[in-house]
Structures are given as C-alpha cells and as structure tokens.
C-alpha cells in the first residue's frame, strides 16, 4: 500500500540521485525557446538573450544560423562571435553543418543554436543537430536553442491533423524534458499573420490550435520539472496546477458512466485520468468478471489503471490519491444500506479527502 508519508529513498535511489546531480553539474545548461509556428519570434528572443548575456560578461558564440536572417537578428549578430558552419555536399545539395571541432576548441560558456530540428547530411558526426547539441552539453558547453512545435516528434501527429502537413525534421520530446529551462514564445495569431511577408502559413484557426498545443506542452514540461524538484528536495507531492481524476472501480460500481465523465473532464481540463481498484482476494467469480470488464473499459478509455493492495479499501484509496496528487475522486454509490452506528466507506472517504473533491455517481439503473 502506498504510504501517506514521503517514502524514505533507498540506497540505490540515493546513489542514482547523486550520480544524476554530478552529471548535471559538469554538463552544460540547456535552454530551449519553444514557438508554436514560424515567425512567432523565437529566434529573435534567443539571439536577444545571447546579446544580453554577452553584455553581462558571459562568453557567448553563435553555433548555427538558419537561412533568411531578418534585419533585427542581423543587428544582434554583428555584436556576437559567429563560428562559421562547414558546408558539406550530399547528393548534389549543399548542407550547413555545425563546426563541432571549432566549437570544442573555442569552448564558449554559451552557444546559440538556431534551428534545432535539422538533419545533418550522411557521413556527419551525428545524424541530427540535437545530438550535436547533446555532445556540446556533455562537454560542459551551455546551449540556448529554439524549436517549433511542428518539429517535436511526439507532437507531429497532432500537428498534422491540424495543418495537414508534417515537417521532415524532428527532435524527440524527451530532449525538451531534459532541458534545464524551456520558455514558450506566445503571441496571438494575428501578430504572425501581420509578419508573414507573403509566405503561406496556417489559417488563424489552425494557428490557435497549434498555440494551445504548445502552451500545454510547455505546461507538461514545467509540471515535470516541479515534480523532479520536489522529489530531489524530499518535499511531499502536492496538489498541482493540473486536474488529476481518479475513478475508483469496484465490481458493482457504475464504471461506464464514471469513466465517461472522467474522460470528458480529462479532455476539458487537459488533465490526467487514472482508475484504481483495491485487490480483494475473496471476490466471487461473477464479481471478478464484472471487475475485469470495468478494468478493460478503463484501459480502452485511456485511463492509467492501478491495482492497489491493502486490507482497508478506504486507506488504500486515500493513500494512493495523496501520492498521485489527485484533485477529483470519482466514486459510485453503494446499493447497500448503512449499518447502525458504523460509518460507510463513502463517509470515511469524504472525511479523509484532504485537498481533493469526492464526486459520487448514481448507481446504475437509478435514473
């Protein structure tokens, strides 16, 4: 049964943390500017940050540029050291490739790299630019880089559904999660449409959808960072900014309605949907079948299903809800009556709910 207190980390866990900390300390810091579409202004923000850092005395160089540098960026570039790219020919095309050995020799504090999603030509040191960045970080060079939503691999299906297009180059989302900092560049779609310069970009509605996706992706990254910080500092998990819904399943509960409602809430709040049941060894076969059906349905509806152990149903659920930072607990009415002077499990759950709401659902057929 999950314990209510923050569990004391075991020796392996401690060792892992120490090693991770050591790796982090010697590794360069990675900062990523995330935009939801082209022309949102992320490259400018990145170079502008490089300029300000240089003015504060940091050793800043430019490691990679994208084609079509705008005048305002050009103005900043004139004040920064640019390490020229190498050119490589492949299949009749000319490619720019970051000059890794020059960067290693120069070993700046911070390297600005525009266009993170970039495929190097065959025969390069690394197939993709984000891998070059990883290497720079491993060598203790800090990197500031910029990427657009359509280049995040795990987001590409969603982006394609919105725009009908799929970018050829991509960066794994895990790379974003590894970043020390991620900053989202937000602007209303109109601002982008003003800046198009005749190039085709998605329509305002698609832009708004992409904008929402980018904001939610950044929120997820930030949420994970918060949890890591809390874990690393031994602070117990607490109620976060995200709605997390837990559906309690039993053999006799009205699982379908609870799960449907849970799924609706998950979608509306962009939250998480979990389902849990407490293992009962003496469950009768027909009830076992019902429970299995509910669990299958929960998985089908995209819920994360957990099996809890514990002699006491209420304590098992309460402990799990606390540990998982649950904000809404869904529970079915029991058909049984209440024994005189004894408090029902529902009453006990309501009394014990610290920091989350308990929603009771009608029993099947009672409507």
Nearer Cβ to other proteins (183/304): 183
Query: In Å, what is the CA distance from 10 to each residue of 13, 14, 15, 230?
Result: 5, 6, 9, 17
Residues 144-163 that bind other proteins (CB under 8 A): none
- Interface pick for other proteins out of 158, 193, 256, 360 (rule CB under 8 A): 360
Closer Cβ to other proteins, 76 or 98, answer by number = 76
Least separation in angstroms between CB 272 and other proteins:
13
Binding characters for other proteins, 21-60, by CB under 8 A (x = yes): ----------x-----------------------------
Binding piece for other proteins, criterion CB under 8 A, among 141-149, 195-203, 209-217, 311-319: 209-217
Closer to other proteins by CB, 58 or 87: give it: 58
- CA-CA distance, 70 to 10, in Å (whole number)? 53
H-helix or E-strand spanning residue 48: helix 42-55
Per CB under 8 A, the list member of 308, 313, 358, 364 interacting with other proteins is 358
Q: Does 216 bind other proteins (CB under 8 A)?
A: yes
Contacts by 350-356 with C-beta closer than 8 Å and gap 24+? 352/314, 352/318, 353/318, 353/321, 353/329, 354/322, 355/238, 355/239, 355/322, 355/327, 356/239, 356/321, 356/326, 356/327, 356/328, 356/329
In terms of phi and psi (left: phi > 0; alpha: psi -120 to 50; beta: otherwise), the region of 179 is: beta
Task: Please state the φ and ψ torsions of residue 83, each to the nearest 5 degrees.
Answer: -90, 110
Handedness of CA 260, 264, 267, 271 (dihedral sign): negative
Pick the closer one to other proteins by CB: 58 or 101: 58
Number of helices (H) and strands (E) in the chain: give both, helices first: 13, 13
Task: Report helix angle 345-352 to 313-323, nearest 10.
Answer: 30
Out of 109, 186, 231, 304, name the contact with other proteins by CB under 8 A.
Answer: 186
d(CA 283, CA 289): 10
Mapped onto helix, strand or coil, the DSSP state of residue 235 is coil
Binding segment toward other proteins, per CB under 8 A, in 86-94, 128-136, 151-159, 259-267: 259-267
Q: Tell me the closest approach of the beta carbon of residue 188 to other proteins, in angstroms.
A: 5
Report the 3 state secondary structure along 200-221.
CCCCHHHHHHHHHHHHHHHHHH
Closest approach of other proteins to the CB of residue 180, in Å: 7
347 binds other proteins (CB under 8 A): yes
When asked if residue 367 is in the footprint of other proteins (CB under 8 A), the reply is: yes
Nearer to other proteins, 105 or 233 (CB): 233
Sheet of 110-113: strand order equals: 81-82, 60-64, 110-113, 142-148, 30-35, 181-185
Count of residues that bind other proteins according to CB under 8 A: 60
Shortest CB 136 distance to other proteins, Å: 19
Is 269 among the residues that bind other proteins (CB under 8 A)?
yes
Per rule CB under 8 A, is residue 263 in the interface with other proteins?
Answer: no
88, 75 in Cβ contact below 8 A? no
Residues that bind other proteins (CB under 8 A): 31, 180-188, 190, 205, 208-209, 211-212, 215-216, 218-219, 222-223, 225-226, 229-230, 235, 238-242, 261, 264-265, 268-270, 328, 333, 338, 340-341, 346-347, 350-351, 353-363, 366-367
């Amino acid at each position: 049964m999950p314990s209510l207190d923050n569990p004391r980390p075991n020796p392996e866990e401690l060792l892992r943390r120490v090693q991770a900390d050591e790796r982090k300390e010697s590794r360069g810091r990675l900062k990523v500017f995330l935009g939801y579409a082209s022309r949102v202004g992320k490259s400018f923000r990145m170079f502008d940050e490089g300029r300000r850092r240089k003015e504060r005395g940091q050793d800043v160089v430019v490691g990679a540029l994208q084609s079509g540098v705008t005048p305002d960026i050009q103005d900043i570039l004139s004040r920064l050291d640019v390490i020229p790219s190498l050119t490589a020919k492949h299949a009749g095309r000319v490619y720019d490739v970051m000059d890794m050995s020059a960067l290693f020799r120069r070993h700046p504090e911070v390297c600005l790299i525009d266009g993170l999603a970039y495929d190097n030509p065959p025969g390069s040191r690394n197939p993709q630019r984000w891998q070059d960045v990883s290497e720079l970080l491993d060598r203790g060079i800090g990197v500031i880089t910029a990427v657009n939503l359509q280049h995040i691999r795990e987001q590409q299906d969603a982006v394609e559904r919105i725009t009908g297009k799929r970018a050829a180059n991509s960066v794994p989302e895990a790379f974003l999660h590894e970043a020390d900092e991620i900053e989202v560049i937000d602007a209303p779609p109109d601002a982008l449409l003003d800046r198009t310069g005749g190039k085709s970009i998605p329509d305002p509605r698609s832009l708004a959808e992409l904008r929402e996706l980018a904001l939610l992706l950044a929120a997820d990254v930030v949420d994970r960072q918060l949890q890591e910080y809390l874990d690393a500092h031994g602070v117990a998990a607490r109620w976060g900014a995200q709605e997390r819904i837990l559906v309690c399943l039993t053999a006799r509960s009205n699982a379908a309605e609870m799960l449907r409602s849970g799924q609706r809430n998950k979608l509306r709040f962009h939250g998480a949907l979990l389902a849990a049941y407490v293992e009962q060894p003496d469950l009768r076969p027909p009830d076992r079948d019902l429970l299995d059906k509910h669990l299958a349905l929960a998985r089908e509806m995209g819920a994360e299903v957990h099996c809890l152990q514990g002699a006491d149903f209420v304590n098992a659920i309460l402990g799990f809800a606390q540990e998982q930072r649950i904000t809404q607990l869904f529970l079915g009415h029991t058909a049984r009556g209440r024994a005189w002077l004894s408090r029902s499990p529902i009453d006990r759950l309501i009394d014990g709910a610290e920091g989350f709401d308990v929603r009771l659902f009608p029993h099947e057929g009672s409507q």
